[in-house]
């Protein structure tokens, strides 16, 4: 390595290690590293989703600190959704700033799209995860770090509440670590407020990119943010909210226990034929247990990205439970057939 290169490397190392001497930065780094230590990430490769916001930049900063201390390799990725005319240029500017000022080389991922007129944010989320997953598999990376924080947790709860989500939907975002098609998704800052991350950002990288769509009331999330600011003035207490969320999460775990029990005792998978047979006792459970058990089996066998819609599943289950005749219906890439007291599920032929 050339002397100039060695000097630049030493300067970069000193930047991160010096910043960690700040008590507030060190305290949040401990929160961050505990999540990775619990997974025994060690010297492995970690992908970091970088949007340019204070949350993703804080995640990137602490990922670099973790890499220095543990000899891990950080793989930062910027997603260009191409949903706005300036998005590509903004991604290039962010990449340039991180490269020039902090010697961080990000990769920009994008995909050519057709015009999207509705559910834009849902489309953008699905696109992000598709691109992340593809890149992780390409480089054999098993860990993806995202900068979701405490404010996101509250926003998602209210968004799903307004959409009529059940217990599972309301608490499905409360885990720091989750699995997505073989990839461990780590959200180390779910208990950290955006306000605190803004403060940390000022002490570390010192810049962030403000997403202009955050001010557009066309999007439900932005309207929810305004609502939450009003509720905050009325005394909305996050600690009480978080306690409620944790209690709901405990209830959800009870339901999940009986779902797994139902699947284990009352269904059988035949690997050679790729089919599942449900016995009559499968449907002798509370509605929520049946719904989740059935949905989980359909999703696993059909290999669809998203779970089948609740109304469709409920309608199909009712047909299976209450019809005295044989039933044959399709759902989410699967055929579901009732013959006497048994139900057979198998992949739909293409």
* Structural domains of the chain in order of their starting residue, each with its CATH number: 3-236 (3.40.50.620), 245-347 (3.30.465)
**CA–CA separation, 268 and 139 (whole Å):** 35
Confidence band of 74 (pLDDT split at 50, 70, 90): very high
| CA nearest neighbour of 224 among 151, 122, 126, 117 | 151
CA–CA gap between residue 165 and residue 282 (Å, rounded): 24
Answer whether residue 350 shows pLDDT above 80: no
Residue 77's H or E segment, with its range, is strand 73-80
Helix (H, G, I), strand (E, B) or coil at 327: strand
Cβ neighbors of 132 (< 8 A, separation 6 or more) are 47, 49, 77, 79, 109, 144, 183
The two tokens of residue 186 are 């780590």
Max mean pLDDT range (153-157, 158-162, 286-290, 310-314): 286-290
Confidence bin at 212 (pLDDT 50/70/90):
low
Picking from 223, 86, 61, the residue whose alpha carbon sits closest to that of residue 147 is 61
Q: Is the dihedral of CA 134, 83, 121, 309 positive or negative?
A: negative
CB atoms within 10 A of CB 238: 15
- Distance in angstroms (rounded) separating the CA atoms of residues 119 and 123: 6
pLDDT for 283 equals 93
Report the candidate in 62, 82, 80, 81 with the shortest Cα–Cα distance to residue 72: 62
Q: Is the pLDDT of residue 59 over 80?
A: yes
Contacts (Cβ under 8 Å, ≥6 apart) of 202? none
Of the listed ranges 89-93, 236-240, 330-334, the least confidently predicted one is 236-240
Mean pLDDT on 250-259 = 94
Min mean pLDDT across 83-92, 198-207, 337-346 is at 83-92
Report pLDDT for 266. 96
Parallel/antiparallel/unpaired status of strands 342-347 and 275-278: antiparallel
3-state DSSP assignment of residue 335: strand
Residues 6+ apart with CB under 8 A from 223: 217
Of the ranges 13-22, 127-136, 309-318, 337-346, which one carries the lowest mean pLDDT score? Answer: 309-318
Residue 341, helix vs strand vs coil = coil
Confidence of residue 124 (pLDDT cuts 50, 70, 90): confident
């Amino acid at each position: 390595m050339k002397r100039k290169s060695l000097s630049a490397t030493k300067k970069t190392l000193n930047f991160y290690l010096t910043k960690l001497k700040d008590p507030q930065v060190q305290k949040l780094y401990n929160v961050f590293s505990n999540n990775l230590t619990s997974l025994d990430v060690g010297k492995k490769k970690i992908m970091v989703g970088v949007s340019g916001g204070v949350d993703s930049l804080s995640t990137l900063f602490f990922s670099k600190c973790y890499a220095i201390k543990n000899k891990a390799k950080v793989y930062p990725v910027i997603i260009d959704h191409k949903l706005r005319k300036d998005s590509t240029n903004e991604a290039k500017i962010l990449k340039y700033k991180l490269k020039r000022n902090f010697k961080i080389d990000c990769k920009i991922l994008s995909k050519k799209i057709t015009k999207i007129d509705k559910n834009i944010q849902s489309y953008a989320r699905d696109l992000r995860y598709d691109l992340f997953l593809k890149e992780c598999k390409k480089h054999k990376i098993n860990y993806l770090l995202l900068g979701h924080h405490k404010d996101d947790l509250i926003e998602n709860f209210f968004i799903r509440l307004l959409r009529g989500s059940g217990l599972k939907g309301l608490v499905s975002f409360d885990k720091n670590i989750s699995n997505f098609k073989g990839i461990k998704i780590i959200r180390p800052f779910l208990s950290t407020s955006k306000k605190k991350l803004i403060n940390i950002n000022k002490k570390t990288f010192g810049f962030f990119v403000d997403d202009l769509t955050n001010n557009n009331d066309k999007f439900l999330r932005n309207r929810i943010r305004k609502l939450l600011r009003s509720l905050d003035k009325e005394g909305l207490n996050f600690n009480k909210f978080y306690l409620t969320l944790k209690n709901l999460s405990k209830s959800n775990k009870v339901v999940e226990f009986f779902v797994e029990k139902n699947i284990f005792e009352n269904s059988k998978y035949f690997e050679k034929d790729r089919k599942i047979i449900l016995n009559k006792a499968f449907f002798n459970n509370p509605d929520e247990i049946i719904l989740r058990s059935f949905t989980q089996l359909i999703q696993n066998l059909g290999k669809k990205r998203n779970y089948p819609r609740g109304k469709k599943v409920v309608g199909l289950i009712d047909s299976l439970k209450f019809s005295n005749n044989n039933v044959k219906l399709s759902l989410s890439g699967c055929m579901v057939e009732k013959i006497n007291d048994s139900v057979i599920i198998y992949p739909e032929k293409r």
